[in-house]
Structure 1
Amino acid sequence: MSASGARTLAVVEATRFRGHDPEYHAYVQLLVGNVIAEARDQGWAVTRLAADEGEEALLQRTDGSDALVVVGGEDIDPAYYGAAGGYAYESRHLAVADAAQLALARRAVERRTPLLGICRGLQIVNVALGGTLVQDLGERSPHVNRGFPIPEVLTTHPVLLEPGSRVSELLGSGIVDVRSAHHQAVAALGAGLVVTGRAPDGHVEAVEHVDAPVLAVQWHPEDVAAPAGQLTALLGALRSGVAVAA
């Protein structure tokens, strides 16, 4: 809780600096900015943090946070889920940021801190709990528009939500449209997680923890073209102690 009495939300990204790719960096700033703006509209006192400051710093700076959001970004270093590099469309890896976010996700589960994961955030939650990743979904994957300018890489596709799940309670039962841009997905599921949303091709699009208030989605509810109300609902769930991740 902040000094003003507002509940505190830490929005955690991998890094604040992507000088090697200004177009990607600018688009990430737009997405993260949308998360922060919606959270502030909901009354959160928001702190924006970069995980590449290191594990010790991130854990210390989030120690008193009432809730967490782990947003999208680069591929997780495959060493953290027992795999090797050299796969198709491999991005750069930020091992220091990976270690910090993985530790943060594990602590959130242990402490029952509400956490929402978005895109990479879902993969962080899964790997933190011992899960693995499909390293590339293939050249014709419907989950990302290959070869397009950065603002156009997100694609729209349906997701079937599991009846009775937290995410279906938030977004409506049945099929919802989502905006996504990811070339990796859950392979083996982490301990304590259940799949609560799948794309038509069977790939995992939402997971929830069976006990802790942790929920993650593989898509981007914060995209400007996302269906109205998705980001509002997912962030609102954090306030009531129901967490989500992407």
Structure 2
Amino acid sequence: MSPAARTLAVVEATRFRGHDPEYHAYVQVLVGGVVRAAEADGWTVSRLAADAGTDSLLAATERADAVVIVGGEDIAPRFYGGAGGYPHESLHRETADAAQLALVHRAIERGVPLLGICRGLQIVNVALGGTLVQDLGESDHVRRGVPIPEVLTTHPVLLEPDSRVEELLGGPVVAVRSAHHQAVDVLGAGLRVTGRAPDGHVEAIEHETAPILGVQWHPEDPAAPAGQLAALLGALRVPARAASLAA
């Protein structure tokens, strides 16, 4: 596959958050960072919103050579058998949730490389039957009561030896930028944990056979270590649709 032929779908929950202009503006910074980094790496990028629905998203990504699912609001609890009413519960976008979950299933079936960032990691886990810790309580993973651009924290992540993420980032410990009040609880089928925060919460997961990688942090944040996002996008440089060809 020549570089000019590589097409990447960058998928967010929604393109518009009129109820929260500050958060919407910061999302544009983050998603824009993914798009620019991918284009610099030679990808032809389509930026797509999952709230258009499952059929629309699957059609729009039908020919994508790889997928990135970016951050956003909490996944609706019904998709992982949870209950509502938990602390700091966000607005839910169930149409977007369902579409992104379907996209993960198809990526695995076809062997299409997929990178999940923050919410994207959680979507991968829930798609494969995993569950979430609904609120981490008072933790080092999010600052509260500060402007949105200051919400992210910097902390280390301990990576598993010989994991794909350790290979991509070049060491057993990396500094990351993150903000999340939820985390992986029960791990989904076919996944393994390949990175944890010092407090033990899951920060990276990988599929055992499919080219699927998820990180809980934000490598696209402007204050993230230089080159970290580009390195993780390197996970998408594997032959696509291997699973469908073998099926």
TM range (shorter): over 0.9
After superposition, residues 181-196 of structure 1 pair within 5 angstroms as 181-196=179-194
Contact 2:11-2:68 within 8 A present in 1 as well: yes
Paired letter, 2:7: T
> Residues 99, 222 of structure 1: CA spacing in aligned structure 2 closer, same or farther, 3 A cutoff?
same
- Kindly state the Cα deviation for residue 174 of structure 1 after the two structures are TM-superposed: 1.4
* Alignment partners' CA distance in 2, 1:226 and 1:191: 30
CA distance in 2: counterparts of 1:204 and 1:155, whole angstroms: 16
Of the candidates 132, 139, 142, which is equivalent to residue 140 of structure 2? 142
Once the two structures are TM-superposed, the CA of residue 6 in structure 1 deviates from its matched residue by: 2.4
In 2: Cα distance, 1:169 partner to 1:184 partner: 26
Matched, 1:168 2:166: yes
Tell me the amino acid that sits aligned with residue 89 of structure 2.
E
Tell me the SS of whatever aligns to 1:57.
helix
Amino acid in the other structure paired with 2:107: A
Report deviation, 1:241. 4.6
- Cα deviations across residues 124-145 of structure 1 (Å, max 9, x unaligned)? 000000000000000x211111
Q: Root-mean-square deviation (CA), in Å?
A: 1.4
Aligned partner of 2:244 in structure 1 is: none
The answer to whether the 8 Å contact 1:178/1:220 transfers is yes
Check conservation: 1:162, 1:173, Cα contact below 8 A: no
**2:16 is paired with a residue of what secondary structure?**
coil
Is 1:126 matched with 2:125?
yes
Cross-structure match for 2:110: 111
**Secondary structure at 1:76's aligned position in 2?**
coil
Which of structure 1's runs of 4+ aligned residues deviate more than 6 A?
none
Matched, 1:71 2:76: no
Q: Structure 1 residues 241, 206: closer, same or farther in 2, change over 3 A?
A: farther
Q: Which amino acid aligns with 2:128?
A: L
Match of 1:89 in 2: 88
Alignment of 1:1-246 (within 5 A): 5-138=4-137, 140-241=138-239
CA distance in 2 between partners of 1:125 and 1:209 (Å): 9
What SS is found at the alignment partner of 1:188?
A: coil
Partners of 1:176 and 1:5 in 2: how far apart? 32
Corresponding pairs, count:
240
* In 2, Cα distance between equivalents of 1:236 and 1:40: 13
Q: Amino acid of the residue matched to residue 126 of structure 1?
A: N
In structure 2, how many angstroms separate the alpha carbons of the residues matched to 1:210 and 1:173?
20
Decide whether the 8 Å contact of 2:168 with 2:234 is kept in 1. Answer: no
Contact 2:211 2:238 in 1 (8 A): no
Shift of 1:5: 4.0
- CA–CA distance in 1 between the matches of 2:239 and 2:217? 21
The aligned amino acid for 1:51 is: A
Q: Please give the alpha-carbon distance, in whole angstroms, between the structure 2 residues aligned to 1:225 and 1:5.
A: 30
Gaps in structure 2 of 5+ consecutive residues = 241-247
Q: Percent identity?
A: 75
So what's the TM-score if we normalise by structure 1? 0.95
Q: Normalising to structure 2: TM-score of the pair?
A: 0.95
Separation in structure 2 between the aligned mates of residue 92 and residue 241 of structure 1, nearest angstrom = 37
**2:4–2:42 contact (8 Å) kept in structure 1:** no
Assess if the C-alpha contact under 8 Å between 1:126 and 1:189 holds in 2: yes
Decide whether the 8 Å contact of 2:4 with 2:43 is kept in 1: no
TM superposition shift of 1:237? 2.2
